């Protein structure tokens, strides 16, 4: 049991090279923009919010990851691949779903500044026919 004061929410600050481009990308993926001010936007997906900021450091962006727990990694691959194929965004890419040793099927996608998104579908041994 902790003696720390209560916490209402936890959000991370996600980097972007160009906040307008990144915001359009995240909205295409499915996030909703709750509000935006100069250099900062709050975006939301499945009731989870994060801050998209107009700040970029290559080493940080390319080592930043967001894990999104999903029901169907294959469906997310199809959805994300459509966004890639639209040609609307530079430097985005998506990898086909793959089974990870920690118990999930994961579709990996990269946002316009290199942030790695994990669209992970957890599974059990029963799901794998074991």
CATH number at residue 87: 3.10.180.10
Q: Does residue 29 belong to any structural domain of this protein?
A: yes
Does 3 map to a domain?
no
Q: Is residue 8 part of a domain?
A: no
Asked if residue 6 belongs to a domain, the reply is no
Residue 4 falls within a domain, yes or no? no
Chain centre to alpha carbon of residue 46: 12
- Whether the pLDDT of residue 54 is over 60: the answer is yes
Contact 78, 85 (CB under 8 A): no
Per-residue pLDDT band for 60 (boundaries 50, 70, 90) equals very high
Separation between Cα atoms, residue 110 and residue 92, nearest integer Å: 5
Is residue 3 within 8 Å of residue 38, measured between CB atoms?
Answer: no
Domain span at 25: 13-128
Closest CA to 22 of 63, 59, 1, 50: 50
100 band by pLDDT with thresholds 50, 70 and 90? very high
- If one counts the domains in the chain, the total is 1
């Amino acid at each position: 049991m902790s003696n720390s004061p209560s916490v209402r929410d936890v959000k991370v600050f996600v980097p972007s090279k160009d906040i307008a481009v990144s915001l359009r990308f995240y909205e295409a993926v499915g996030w909703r923009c709750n509000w935006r001010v100069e250099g900062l936007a709050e975006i939301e997906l499945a009731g989870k919010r994060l801050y998209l900021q107009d700040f970029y450091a290559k080493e940080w962006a390319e080592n930043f990851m967001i894990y999104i727990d999903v029901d169907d990694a294959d469906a997310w691959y199809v959805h994300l691949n459509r966004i890639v194929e639209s040609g609307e965004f530079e430097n985005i890419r998506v990898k086909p779903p793959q089974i990870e040793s920690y118990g999930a099927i994961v579709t990996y996608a990269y946002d316009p500044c290199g942030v790695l998104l994990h669209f992970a579908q957890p599974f059990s041994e029963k799901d794998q026919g074991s």
